[in-house]
Amino acid sequence: MAGRDHGDPSTGSTVSVDLDAIAHNVRILRDHAGDAGVMVVVKADGYNHGAVEVARTALSAGARELGVTTVQEALVLRSNGITAPILAWLHHDGTDFAPAIASNVELGLSSVEQVHAVVAAATDANATATVTLKIDTGLNRNGIDPVILDDVIDVLGRAVAADSVRLRGVFSHLACADVPDHPANDRQADVLRAVVARLDAAGLHPEVTHLANSAATLTRPDLHFDLVRPGIAAYGLSPIPELGDFGLRPAMTVSTKVALVKNVPAGAGVSYGHTWNAPADTVVALIPMGYADGVRRNLSGRFEVGIGGRRFPAVGRVCMDQFVVDLGPDGAGVAVGDTAVLFGPGENGEPLAQDWADTLDTIHYEVVTGIGGRVRREYRRTDTGEASA
């Protein structure tokens, strides 16, 4: 996301990413992984935390590999000097695989057609493409159906023999990992094992097998195989909130500066449609973020903001650029320029991303990836007190 870290500094709105929290979380995941390696997923610009900075931090903390969705995401990491193994696994019909092959990006392949396309690109470049087969073991999204595995084996076997392809791995994705004892998890693992056995019998020997996402990394050590592939947990958000936080530290804090403080008389309506009317004389603060920045309109009147260690309710409708919070009749000592925290790690009583998710009947993934617009990103290290834009 070009320019995302710079945002619009005139708004005072910031996504602050605690890199020490990222490192802490990766170390927890590494400990849970046991003998398996750790691939940290940094797709979607590191779940909106900044893929390059997160990747560097994760690798320094013991991650062995990185995972992304697209070839372009992988190439951004390569262009920033990251040399660790990178797997990219979602490709559209016209994807140009040549740059990925030239940059030693491992390609996750989900169809016979993709295998053909990568073999052709590798042959044209007189190079060897590193590939991993994505197997549909029951999620029924992208992935090779085991029913057609023989067709893949035929194409892949010839490509491996010709040295145009190196088969590095086989992987799949769990549908119900957030319910650790769900029978689908074991069924999917059994399908994956059967596919690996068929490949071995055909003389194709994948170097690594992986299945576990964040939830399975933390709760199902029997599904770790050779490599675990956590995403959301690296950012400090529990993959199974009802089971606790697993010792993870949320890395993202979203904040801005109070833009205006004003008196509102009893009975006066606030914001569009006057959906909220002051029940008594009160003081409100204007917060300069809105749905253009990821503060969802359907949060209107349903969330709180932390200012000075206290929480204040948002009142009236969330607008495109701003919303209003009720400070109470005495204004609570809040002044223009004070920091208003929309969500963070909760260390100072501020709301959590999970609070928004609960209110919106969604998941915290959507909350953290949805913050954008003019919001500036900065990086800090809580353990050292350092900060950088």
Q: Which domains does the chain have, with CATH numbers?
A: 19-235 (3.20.20.10), 252-351 (2.40.37.10)
Q: How confident is the model at residue 124 (pLDDT cuts 50, 70, 90)?
A: very high
pLDDT in tens, 253-311: 999 999 999 999 999 999 999 999 999 999 999 999 999 999 999 999 999 999 999 99
Neighbour count for residue 216 (Cβ, 10 Å) = 25
Tell me the C-alpha distance between 250 and 367, whole Å: 13
pLDDT in tens, 39-64: 999 999 999 999 999 999 999 999 99
The residue behind tokens 């002044």 is 335
For 31, how many CA atoms within 13 A lie in the half-sphere containing its CB?
9
Q: What is the mean pLDDT of residues 150-173?
A: 97
Of 169, 207, 213, 174, give the one whose Cα is nearest residue 190: 174
pLDDT in tens, 306-358: 999 999 999 999 999 999 999 999 999 999 999 999 999 999 999 999 999 99
- pLDDT at residue 376 greater than cutoff 70: yes
Question: Which pLDDT belongs to residue 279?
Answer: 97
pLDDT in tens, 231-261: 999 999 999 999 999 999 999 999 999 999 9
Question: Which pLDDT belongs to residue 2?
Answer: 36
Q: Which amino acid is at 184?
A: A
Tell me the C-alpha distance between 47 and 212, whole Å: 18
Does the annotation list 39 as a binding residue? no
Annotated active-site residue 43? The verdict is yes
Model pTM score: 0.95
Of 189, 177, 137, 133, give the one whose Cα is nearest residue 156: 133
Which residue among 43, 291, 365, 379 is the active-site one?
Answer: 43
Does the annotation list 252 as a binding residue? no
- pLDDT at residue 6 greater than cutoff 80: no
Annotated active-site residue 257? The verdict is no
Question: Which pLDDT belongs to residue 3?
Answer: 42
Tell me the C-alpha distance between 222 and 278, whole Å: 56
Q: What angle do CA 36, 40, 44 make, to 5 degrees?
A: 155
